[in-house]
Structure 1
Amino acid sequence: MHFQNPSIFYFLWLLIIPIIVHLFQLQKFVKVPFTNVAFLQKIFQENRKSSKVKKWLILATRLLLFLSLLFAFSQPYFSNKNTTKKLTNFIYLDNSLSTIAEGEKGVLLKNAIQEIIENTSAEETFSLLTNTEFFENLSYEELKNKLLLVKYSSISPDFESILLKISKIQNNKIKGLHKSILISDFQNTYENMFTNVTAGFSAIKLRNNKENNISLDSIYISKNTNDIITVNAIVKNQGKKKEGIPIALYDKEKLINKQSFSIENNSTTTLSFSLQNSTELEGKIKITYSDIFPFDNSKIFTLNRAKKINILSIGKTNKFLSKIYVKNEFNFTFSSLQNLDYNAISKQELIILNEIENIPATLANTLVDFSNKGGSVVIIPNTIINISSYNSFFRKVSSFKIQTKKTDSLKITSINYDHPIFKNVFSKKVNNFQYPSTKEYFNSNSRDISSIISFENNTPFIGQINSTGKKIYWFANSLTDNISNFSKSPLIVPVFYNFAKLSFKNTQLYYEIGKINQIDVNVKLNKDEIVSIKNKNSSFIPQQQTYQNKVVLSLNNLDLEPDYFYVTKDTDTIQTLALNPPKSESLLEFLDVKTTSFTNKNVVFYTSVEDYFKEQNKKNEVHWLWKWFLALAIVSLLLEILILKFYKP
C-alpha cells in the first residue's frame, strides 16, 4: 500500500484527544453505607463493570474514527506506480527508411506512431528520441505533436548511443521514475549489441510481412575511354528467384538504355550499361519492381570532370613512379634537389622526397607549410642520409624521429587492412603471397607512427607519422633494387596510387547519406569566402576547411534527402554530388528476439506498441482506498451513536 499524502500521519498525535477525554470520564464510585442487604451489593458491582465496558467501547469507536479520517486524508492506494514520484517514459522510435515496410496493420512507422498516441497516458511525462532528434520533458500533447511531425530519415539507428542514453537516465533514477522503450525493426543488429551490463528496457520489434526484396547494391565504372563509358550496376536479390525485371539508365529524365534481367534466389548479378563519354552526367539507374522497400530500386550518380592530381618527385628518378602515375589521371613531374623550383611546391597535391641524402632547412620549412595547407608528403630515404637533417624536419611536424640504421634481412609481412591506403584494395585478407624483403632499414620510435605495412619484427616499413591534420608517410628504407625488392611487389601499385588519390579526393560517383563523407573541392577561396551546397528544395553551408588549392567539405551524418546536390561559390556551380540512402537499409536481416530474450533477462520484448502500453497501464492502474477509510469513519461514528443511545449499563 502507498500513500499520496503520507505527511498526514504527522497528525497521529490527535489520537490522544479521545484518550484524554476517556480518562476524565473514569470517575470513582462513592461508597454509601447501607443496611445489610446482600443483593444490593451484587447489583452495585454489576452496574460498575457495565459502565466501564461502555466507556471502553466509546473510546474504541472514537479512536477508529480519528484513525480512519487520517488514513482517508493520506489517500492510500494499491499500485505498481509510485504517484509521489514523477514518471518519465523514454521512447526511442526508429524512423529509418526500413520502417517504410508494411506489417499486418499497415506501414510500420505510421502504425507505431498511431498506437503510441492512442495508448499513452495524458498524466505522464515523455522523452522522445528518433534517429535525428531528441526531445525531453514532453507532455502528452507535446509528444503527440512531435510524433505527427516525424518523417523518414536516411540516418540508420546507432544502438550503442541509444543504450548509453538509457544507462545515463537509469543512473539518475533517484530523481524520479523512468521507463525505457525501444521501438524498431532492429534491422541488421545482432545479439552481441547487448551485454550483461546493458541497462534494462522494454523493446518492440516492428515486423514486416514480406521476405523478398530486390535492390541496387552499388554502381561503378568498369571502362572509361575517350568515347565510351561502361557503367556497371550490382543488383542484389533477397528471397525468391525473379525473372524479367526491367532496369533502365537515365541522364536526368532522359532514357539512355533499357534492358531486363533475371536473378536467382538470394544472389547478386552485375549489369552493364554503355553510354557516350561525357564530361558531366546526372545519371540514374532504376529498377521497375514492387517489393518491400521502394527506396532501393533506384540509385543516382554523377560524372564530374575529374581533376588531375599534381605530383612532384624530388630526388632520384624511379621508373615505377612514372608507370603508376599515368597522364590521364595525374600530372607527374620530377625535379632534382639542385634544380628545384620552390614556387612549384604550393601547386602540388603530393610531394615525394625520393631518396635524397639531406633535407635542407629551406625545403623543410616549405614542406611544413605545404603539409599544413593540406598537401601530402611521402619520404623515401637514401641508403646514406643525414639523420640530423631528417630529424630536424620531423621535429617541425611531430615527435617522430629516426634513430639508427640497421643491417638486417627482414621480410615485409604485415598489412594494416584498416588503413585508408588499402580501402577497397583487397576483397579479403591475403596470407599466402610472396613477401617482399629488405637488407637494411632505419629504426625509429615506432610509437609516433601508425603502421601501414610492417616488417616481420612488427616495426613499421611504411607508416603515417602521427601529426594532427597532416599526411606525412615514411618508408623505413631505400627502394633501390639492391636494398629491397618492394618495387617489384604487387603492393607497390596500390600504395603509391592511393598516396596520390588520398591527397586529393575527386568526387565519387555517389555518396551514402549518414556516412562520414569528406569531399575535396577544386577551388581557391579568399579569406572570407565560403562554398554552399544546395538542391532544388534547400540550401545549407557545410562544415568546410580551406587549404591553398582546395576546400575540404565534411558531410558527416547529415540527414539529407536522396537527391543531386550542387556545390556553389556565389552563383557558380563548382561540382555536382549524388546522395543515396545507405544500402544497409535494404537488408532483410533482423534481431533474433528469442535468442536475445534468453541471453539478456533485463530486455523484455513485446509483440506490439499497443500490447506494451496496455500492460503498463494495467500495472500502473491506481486502486484508491480513501473511500473505504471514509466509510469506516462513518461506520465508527454511527457505532458510537448507537452505543450511546441503546447501550444501557
Structure 2
Amino acid sequence: MQFKNPEILYFLWLLIIPILVHLFQLQKFVKVPFTNVAFLQKIIQDSRKSSRLKKWLILATRMLLLSAILFAFSQPFFSDDKSTKNEKIIVYLDNSLSTQAKGEKGFLLQVAAKEIIENAPQSNTYSLLTNDEFYDDISFSELKKLVLELNYSSKKPSLNSILLKIDALSKKQTKTLNETILISDFQNIYNNEFTNVTPPFSVIKLTESQKNNISIDSVFTSNSMDETTLHVVVKNQGSSKQNVPIALYNEKELSSKQSFSIEENSTKTILFSIQKKEAFNGKISISSSDTFSFDNTFYFHLKTAKKINVLAIGNEVDFLSKIYTEDEFNFTQNLSENINYNLIPKQEILILFELEKISEILSKSVQDFISKSGSVVVIPNPNSDINSYNQFLQKFSSSTFSNKNIDSLKITNIIESHPFFKNVFSKKVENFQYPTVNHFYEINSKNDTKMVTFENNSSFLSQINIPSGALYVFTSAINKKNSSFQNSPLIVPIFYNFGKFSFLQSQLYYFLDDENKIDVDIQLQKDEILEISNTTTTFIPIQQTFQNKVTLTTKENPSEAGFYNINKKGEIIETIAFNTPKEESLLQFLDVAQLEKTNPNITVSDAVSTVFKNIKKKNEVQSLWKWFLALAIVSLFLEILILKFYKP
C-alpha cells in the first residue's frame, strides 16, 4: 500500500485521546458490601461486566472511526512503484512530405495528430519532436495546439539522430520516467538503424493505402543552335500507366503539353523543346492520382550562363583552349616572360603551367588572388626551381616539394568520393588504360586531400586545404614528353571541373534541405547584403563577399519548393528553383513487424490509441480512500447502534 499524503498518518497519535477518556471512565472504586445487601453482589457484578463491555465496544468503534478518517485523508492506493514517479511522454511525430499520403482514415499526418489529441493523457508532461522542431516540457493543451498547427517539412533527419536526442533527453532527467513513442511511415529506413537501441519505446507505423507512385526524378538539358532540348526523367513505382498527361509551363503560361505511357517499375525520359531566351522559369506538371502529389510538380530555371574567366601562365599549350571553349569560358594565355598582372584579379581561375620558377611578384599576386576566393592550379616543370615553389606553397600551408623521382609510374587511383568527381563517373572505373609519368616530385603535406594517386599511393593531384579559395597541386609535369596524361580520358573532366568549380553558377534546380552553394557575379559595398525571397517569404542566406562575387549557402531555408529570387535592395539579380528531395518519393518502407523479433526493447503497435491505452493501464492507481471513508461511516453507525440498543 502506498499513500498520496503520508504525512497525515502522523496524526495517528490522536488515537490516545479516546483511550485516555475510556481509562478515566473505568476507574475502579473499592466498595465494602454489607450483610443486608450481600445477596445482591452477584447481580451487581454482572451489571458492571456488561457496562464495561459496552465501553470497550464504544472505544473500539471510536478508534476505528478516527483511524479510518486519518487513512482516508492520507489517500492510500495500490499501484506499480513506478507510477509514483514523475512521468514524461516523449513523442516523435514524423511530419515529412511523405506523410501527405492517404491511409484508410485519411491523410497520415492529420490522422496521427487527431488520435494523439483524442487519446493522450491530459495530466502528463510531454516532449514533442518533429523533423524540424523540438518542444520540451509542454502540457497536454500545448501539445494539442502544436500537433493541430503542424506543417509538412522537407527535412528528414536520420532515425539515429532522433534516437540519440531522445536518449540524451532521458539521461538528463534521471528522476523522471519516460515513455517514448515513434510515429512515422518509416520511409527508406532500415533495420540497422535500430541495432544500438537501449531505451524501450513504442513504434507506430503510418501506412498509406496506395502502392503506386509516379514522380519527376530529374531534369537536364542539351543545346543546339536555336533551341534547348529539355530531358525530363520520370520514375514509375508500381503498375504500368497509360496516357499520363504532362505539361511544361513558363511561369504560369503553358508552353507545351503531351502524354506518355510508362512500364511497371521503370523510368522514362520525355523531351521538350524550348526556344532559346534570356531566362525560362520552367514548371513541369504531371496529372496523376497516386500516393504522393508533391512530386508531380518540378521547378527549374534556364538562363544564359556566365562565362568563366581562365588565365594560364607559363608554357604555351593547345589542349587547354580545346577544353575551355568560347561558349562557356573566356580563356587567356600568358607566357611566363610576358605576364599581364592586371588580368589576374579579373579571373576565376589561374593555371600556373610548368613554370621553371615562381617569381616573388607573381607569388604575391597569386596569394592576393586566392585570398579573394580565386582558384589556382599548380603544375611543376621537370626542371623547376623547387625553392621558389616551396616558398610559394608555404604561404598557404606547410606543403612542400621534396626529392624529384625519376621513375616511371602509372596513375591508377581516382578518389571518386571527392566532391570534385561527383557525377563525373556513372560507375566505378575498371579496365582503365592508366596514364604514366616519367618523373614526379614527392609532396610533404599534412593538410592536403588526395584526388588522384600513383600506383604506390603517392599523390599525383591534391587539393591543399586553405581557408579561402582553392589550390590544386600536381606533383608532375603533364607535357607529352614527361607524361601520357594529355592522351588520357581523365584530362578533360579534371580541367573542365577546375573551371566549373572556380565559379559555382546557379544550377537548373536545387533540392530542399541540401547544402547548396551559389556564386553570384556581383560586387557589393561594405554593408550591403543579398536576400532570397518569393511571394510569401524572405530570408538572408549565409554569404561570403569577395572581390568579384558573393557566395551564398542555403540549407535550412527555403522550406518549400518553387521559384526564388536573389535580391539586392529589392532589385532581382537572379532566379533559382528548388524542389522536394527525391528520397521523399520512394515507396520503400521499413517492415516494423520484424523489429520486435530483433530488438526486445521495441514494441510495435498498430494504432496511436493502443499505445496510449497501454500507458494509461500501466499507470492506473487503485485508490482506497473511499473504502476507508465507508469504514468510518460504518464505525459511526455501529457506535450509534451500541449506544441506543445495548442496555447492560
Normalising by structure 2, report the TM-score: 0.91
RMSD: 3.1
Give 1:382 shift. 1.6
Partner secondary structure for residue 631 of structure 1: helix
Q: Which residue does the alignment assign to 1:458?
A: 457
CA change 1:45–1:209 in 2 (3 A) is same
Partner secondary structure for residue 102 of structure 1: coil
Per-residue deviation, residues 272-299 of structure 1 (Å, max 9, x unmatched): 1122222211112222222111111121
Per-residue deviation, residues 503-537 of structure 1 (Å, max 9, x unmatched): 11111111111111111111111111111222122
CA change 1:634–1:434 in 2 (3 A) is same
Amino acid at match of 2:498: F
Give 1:407 shift. 3.4
Partner secondary structure for residue 507 of structure 2: coil
- Kindly indicate whether the alpha-carbon contact (under 8 Å) linking 2:398 and 2:446 is maintained by their aligned counterparts in 1: no
Structure 1 stretch displaced more, 58-67 or 543-552: 58-67
Partner secondary structure for residue 295 of structure 2: helix
**Aligned-partner Cα distance in 2 for 1:294–1:447:** 50
Structure 2 matches for 1:495-534, cutoff 5 A?
495-534=494-533
Structure 1 stretch displaced more, 626-635 or 368-377: 626-635
Partner secondary structure for residue 183 of structure 1: strand
Q: Which residue does the alignment assign to 1:138?
A: 138
**Aligned-partner Cα distance in 1 for 2:186–2:8:** 49
Q: Which residue does the alignment assign to 1:249?
A: 248
Q: Which residue does the alignment assign to 1:202?
A: 202
Structure 2 matches for 1:53-92, cutoff 5 A?
64-79=64-79, 85-92=85-92
**Aligned-partner Cα distance in 2 for 1:126–1:523:** 49
Q: Which residue does the alignment assign to 2:6?
A: 6
State yes or no: 1:271 paired with 2:273: no
CA change 1:62–1:304 in 2 (3 A) is same
- Kindly indicate whether the alpha-carbon contact (under 8 Å) linking 1:218 and 1:235 is maintained by their aligned counterparts in 2: yes
Per-residue deviation, residues 236-285 of structure 1 (Å, max 9, x unmatched): 00000111112222222333332222111001111111222222111122
Q: Which residue does the alignment assign to 1:612?
A: 611
Amino acid at match of 1:156: K
Structure 1 stretch displaced more, 370-379 or 353-362: 353-362
Q: Which residue does the alignment assign to 2:211?
A: 211
**Aligned-partner Cα distance in 2 for 1:26–1:388:** 118
Structure 2 matches for 1:153-164, cutoff 5 A?
153-164=153-164
Q: Which residue does the alignment assign to 1:562?
A: 561
**Aligned-partner Cα distance in 1 for 2:101–2:81:** 36
CA change 1:494–1:44 in 2 (3 A) is farther
**Aligned-partner Cα distance in 1 for 2:228–2:105:** 46
Give 1:16 shift. 6.0
Amino acid at match of 2:218: S
Amino acid at match of 1:75: Q
Structure 2 matches for 1:143-542, cutoff 5 A?
143-221=143-221, 223-542=222-541
CA change 1:58–1:433 in 2 (3 A) is farther
**Aligned-partner Cα distance in 1 for 2:284–2:358:** 52
Amino acid at match of 1:577: I
Amino acid at match of 1:584: E
Partner secondary structure for residue 203 of structure 2: strand
Per-residue deviation, residues 142-169 of structure 1 (Å, max 9, x unmatched): 2222222222222234423321221111
CA change 1:81–1:121 in 2 (3 A) is farther
Give 1:335 shift. 1.3
CA change 1:332–1:82 in 2 (3 A) is same
Partner secondary structure for residue 557 of structure 2: coil
- Kindly indicate whether the alpha-carbon contact (under 8 Å) linking 2:283 and 2:298 is maintained by their aligned counterparts in 1: yes
Normalising by structure 1, report the TM-score: 0.91
**Aligned-partner Cα distance in 2 for 1:341–1:129:** 59
**Aligned-partner Cα distance in 2 for 1:503–1:122:** 58
Per-residue deviation, residues 556-605 of structure 1 (Å, max 9, x unmatched): 13242221111122243211111111111111011110122221222222
- Kindly indicate whether the alpha-carbon contact (under 8 Å) linking 1:154 and 1:559 is maintained by their aligned counterparts in 2: no
Amino acid at match of 2:551: V
State yes or no: 1:103 paired with 2:103: yes
Partner secondary structure for residue 132 of structure 1: coil
Amino acid at match of 1:426: F
**Aligned-partner Cα distance in 2 for 1:146–1:227:** 53
**Aligned-partner Cα distance in 1 for 2:12–2:340:** 97
Q: What percent identity do the matched residue pairs reach?
A: 55
Give 1:31 shift. 10
Amino acid at match of 2:213: N
**Aligned-partner Cα distance in 2 for 1:40–1:487:** 141
CA change 1:405–1:22 in 2 (3 A) is farther
Structure 1 stretch displaced more, 480-489 or 339-348: 480-489
- Kindly indicate whether the alpha-carbon contact (under 8 Å) linking 2:397 and 2:464 is maintained by their aligned counterparts in 1: yes
Structure 1 stretch displaced more, 3-12 or 463-472: 3-12
Give 1:328 shift. 0.7
Give 1:14 shift. 5.0
Amino acid at match of 1:592: D
CA change 1:639–1:439 in 2 (3 A) is farther
Structure 1 stretch displaced more, 62-71 or 462-471: 62-71
Partner secondary structure for residue 330 of structure 2: strand
Partner secondary structure for residue 439 of structure 2: strand
**Aligned-partner Cα distance in 2 for 1:545–1:465:** 20
**Aligned-partner Cα distance in 2 for 1:25–1:244:** 105
CA change 1:62–1:352 in 2 (3 A) is farther
Q: Which residue does the alignment assign to 2:578?
A: 579
Partner secondary structure for residue 355 of structure 1: strand
Aligned length: 647
Amino acid at match of 2:170: Q
Per-residue deviation, residues 184-220 of structure 1 (Å, max 9, x unmatched): 1111111111123343322211111000111111000
**Aligned-partner Cα distance in 2 for 1:465–1:15:** 88
**Aligned-partner Cα distance in 1 for 2:199–2:396:** 44
Partner secondary structure for residue 585 of structure 1: helix
CA change 1:19–1:459 in 2 (3 A) is farther
**Aligned-partner Cα distance in 2 for 1:159–1:80:** 32
- Kindly indicate whether the alpha-carbon contact (under 8 Å) linking 2:452 and 2:461 is maintained by their aligned counterparts in 1: yes
Partner secondary structure for residue 557 of structure 1: coil
- Kindly indicate whether the alpha-carbon contact (under 8 Å) linking 2:595 and 2:604 is maintained by their aligned counterparts in 1: no
What runs of 5+ residues in structure 1 fail to find an aligned partner? none
Per-residue deviation, residues 473-514 of structure 1 (Å, max 9, x unmatched): 111222133333222221111111111111111111111111
Give 1:612 shift. 2.2
Amino acid at match of 2:312: S
Amino acid at match of 2:477: S
Amino acid at match of 1:502: F
Amino acid at match of 1:247: I
- Kindly indicate whether the alpha-carbon contact (under 8 Å) linking 1:245 and 1:287 is maintained by their aligned counterparts in 2: yes
Structure 1 stretch displaced more, 224-233 or 353-362: 353-362
Amino acid at match of 1:298: T
**Aligned-partner Cα distance in 2 for 1:440–1:194:** 52
- Kindly indicate whether the alpha-carbon contact (under 8 Å) linking 2:398 and 2:445 is maintained by their aligned counterparts in 1: no
What runs of 5+ residues in structure 2 fail to find an aligned partner? none
CA change 1:23–1:509 in 2 (3 A) is same
- Kindly indicate whether the alpha-carbon contact (under 8 Å) linking 1:163 and 1:199 is maintained by their aligned counterparts in 2: no
- Kindly indicate whether the alpha-carbon contact (under 8 Å) linking 1:4 and 1:83 is maintained by their aligned counterparts in 2: no
